Amino acid sequence: MIALKHAPYVLKQIVRSPSRSLLTIGGVAVSMFLFAAVQSMQAGVEAATRIRADDTTLVVYRKDRFCPVASRMPQSYEQQIRQIPGVESVVPMKIVVSNCRTSLDVVTFRGVPRDKFVAEYAPKLTILSGSLSDWERRSDAALIGETLATRRGLRVGDRFEAVGITVYVAGVIRSDEPQDENVAYVHLDFLQFASGSRSGGIVTQFSVRVSDPSELEPVANTIDTYFASGQDPTYTAPEKAFVARAATDVLEIVGFMRWLGWGCLAAVLALVANAIVLSVQDRIREHAILQTLGFSTSLIARLIVSEGVALSLVGGGIGCAAAVLFLANGGFALSVEGHSIPVLATTGVLLTGLLVASVVGVLASLAPAIQAGRRDIVSCFRAV
């Protein structure tokens, strides 16, 4: 935009009005902090609910039930589901949550048979600390997601209690699947009795993997038709669609927050534009002197735009970096009905915020820059 040799001049114009510049940078930082937070929530929603072409997992739930505590099906359904053409594997699962309503601090226990966890889930997980063998050895062991461990300050060897269930932390895991980041995997038989409900032989859902992604809908329809006349009819859907259905309220909240994001950008635009307009008004005669020294009107306009971009980038960088650090270290995730919507504060959010801040800086300073560039020397000296 400008030559490197002109950068000191731009910096000088920013620091010559420290109060105005600091207030502008502070306002931009606050607005971009909120913008980055909204972007992180939207990234989490997309990751948790976007159905990919290679998805092969179905969730079988009790029909007309929503909270896991209300979904009760016989574990014997596993044998019948496995016989359906197109089904590759079936994993019965019991889920116990500390709160079925939308909340930022929910503990979700997932009880899975030991052998099926080792075969189906363990290969997709990265164990950050602890060991799978320790989990297999202890009946009360839990492998907890990295987000849950961060939020609760848990480490390997700790014991923690939720919903009347006390477990030993055998390992901390990381996964590409958002649902695995905020759960505690325990043994199915342990969870069926640990809460005192003595629900042996009863599970919350079945995780069904099909052999071909194109078989998702036909297999789902076949499962629901098979159990439609039974005592416990089912509702089957692709895993991501199931999460989206359960988290309808969360999706609406995040959708509304998009308007908050646009409002933050409007605030940045107004703050930077106001600062640049005031700065240009204070330097009308200075611009005339620059013209007499050989500065072209286009160069003066570019210097003004560069000043606006610098203010916007500094404030945007501070705000976005603070948001990413705060959200990443906080381990935040929105949970509803046992399903987790992570808040994904990544470097991508930071880079997006910086890009948006620079574009907004250009747009905010463009009008005063054009106006200043169009003034001739005589009119500048006549200005009061």
Tell me how far apart the alpha carbons of residues 260 and 253 are, in angstroms, rounded to a whole number: 11
Q: Are the C-beta atoms of 230 and 88 separated by less than 8 Å?
A: no
Tell me how far apart the alpha carbons of residues 304 and 230 are, in angstroms, rounded to a whole number: 73
The pLDDT, as a whole number, for residue 378 is 52
Please report the DSSP string for 183-209 in residue order.
EEEEEHHHHHHHTSS--TTEESEEEEE
Q: Are the C-beta atoms of 327 and 37 separated by less than 8 Å?
A: yes
Which pairing describes strands 183-187 and 108-112: parallel, antiparallel, or unpaired?
A: parallel
Q: Which two tokens stand for residue 287?
A: 């611009």
With a cut of 90, say whether residue 172 has pLDDT above it.
Answer: yes
Question: Percentage of the chain surpassing pLDDT 70?
Answer: 83
Q: Among residues 24, 60, 45, 376, which one has the least CA distance to residue 220? A: 60
How many Å from the N-terminal Cα to the C-terminal Cα in the chain? Answer: 30
pLDDT digits (tens, 9 = 90+) for 177-232: 777 888 899 999 898 887 655 556 889 999 999 988 888 889 999 999 999 888 88
Q: Are the C-beta atoms of 112 and 125 separated by less than 8 Å?
A: no
Q: pLDDT-derived band of residue 377, with 50, 70 and 90 as boundaries?
A: low
Q: Among residues 95, 119, 118, 116, which one has the least CA distance to residue 107? A: 95
Contacts of 372 (CB under 8 A, 6+ apart): 280, 284, 287, 297, 300, 301, 304
Angle separating helix axes 7-15 and 297-330, nearest 10 degrees: 70
The pLDDT, as a whole number, for residue 256 is 78
Tell me how far apart the alpha carbons of residues 365 and 361 are, in angstroms, rounded to a whole number: 6
> pLDDT: is 338 or 34 the higher one?
34
Please report the DSSP string for 29-82 in residue order.
HHHHHHHHHHHHHHHHHHHHHPPPTT--EEEEEETT--SGGG--EETTHHHHHH
**Other Cβ atoms closer than 10 A to 157:** 11
* Beta-bridge mates of residue 209: 57, 89
pLDDT digits (tens, 9 = 90+) for 304-363: 888 888 888 999 999 999 998 988 877 777 777 677 777 778 888 889 889 998 888 888
Tell me how far apart the alpha carbons of residues 1 and 10 are, in angstroms, rounded to a whole number: 12
Tell me how far apart the alpha carbons of residues 242 and 258 are, in angstroms, rounded to a whole number: 23
The pLDDT, as a whole number, for residue 384 is 47
Please report the DSSP string for 167-181 in residue order.
EEEEEEEE-SSGGGT
The pLDDT, as a whole number, for residue 276 is 78
Tell me how far apart the alpha carbons of residues 301 and 257 are, in angstroms, rounded to a whole number: 36
Q: Are the C-beta atoms of 91 and 185 separated by less than 8 Å?
A: no
Whose tokens are 């409007």? That residue is 266
With a cut of 80, say whether residue 151 has pLDDT above it.
Answer: yes
Tell me how far apart the alpha carbons of residues 71 and 306 are, in angstroms, rounded to a whole number: 59
Q: Give the predicted TM-score (pTM) of the model.
A: 0.73
Contacts of 232 (CB under 8 A, 6+ apart): 62, 63, 72, 73, 74, 77
Q: Among residues 79, 147, 164, which one has the least CA distance to residue 328? A: 147
